[in-house]
Amino acid sequence: MNKYRNQLAVFLLWAVCVIVFFKFIPDRQIAALLAGAGFIIWPSLFLFLELKSPNKSKIHVFALSLFLVAAALPIFLLRVIHWGEDFGSLTLFGLPAVNLHQTSNVFYLIVMVSCFYNSWVIERRRRREELANPSRN
């Protein structure tokens, strides 16, 4: 089982879910609340599991932590604290929320690249072991 490939699938599926939320939920704040909850829950779960793993990837821990601390949590809290206000008018430490959201997209992409990279490393290692031990096939 390749946990990173599974995580990548979850992150891609969640991105599709978020698009669907904003398309079909008329209240943008509710859609944003649901989306934000997933952007906190999934990376938190995967970070927890990664930290418990004996074969943890420092790159993946960094990517997940960066996304959570620098993007998902601040945006979610900003939206909740300023409920009812237009997201485009909000700022965090002088940084417009819209710019923070754009940065969060980059951080989310970094998380997905980390999943892809770690999945590739695992598959490469597995193939190398299969070639070295053909009797195990």
Task: Indicate whether 98 belongs to any domain.
Answer: yes
- 71 domain residue, yes or no: yes
What letter would DSSP give residue 82? T
How many angstroms separate the CA atoms of 44 and 114, rounded? Answer: 15
| Cα–Cα distances in angstroms (integers) from residue 101 to residues 30, 32, 43, 111, 119, in the given order | 17, 12, 17, 15, 27
Rounded distance, CA 101 to CA 67, Å? 11
Distance CA(51)–CA(29), nearest Å, equals: 32
Q: CA 122, CA 127: separation in Å to the nearest integer?
A: 9
Who's near 2: CB < 8 A, 6+ residues apart? 119, 122, 123
Question: Structural domain tally of the chain?
Answer: 1
Instruction: Let me know if residue 32 belongs to a domain.
Output: yes
The answer as to whether 136 is a domain residue is no
Residue 28 belongs to a domain: yes
Instruction: Give bridge partners of residue 92 from the DSSP assignment.
Output: 95
Is 109 among the domain residues? Answer: yes
Structural domain for 74, as ranges: 3-130
- Give pLDDT, residue 40: 98
pTM: 0.90
Asked if the structure places residue 135 within a domain, the reply is no
**137 residues of the chain, pLDDT tens digit each:** 799 999 999 999 999 999 999 999 999 999 999 999 999 999 999 999 999 999 999 999 999 999 999 999 999 999 999 999 999 899 898 889 999 999 999 999 999 999 999 999 999 988 998 888 877 65
What pLDDT is attached to residue 136?
61
DSSP tag of 118: H
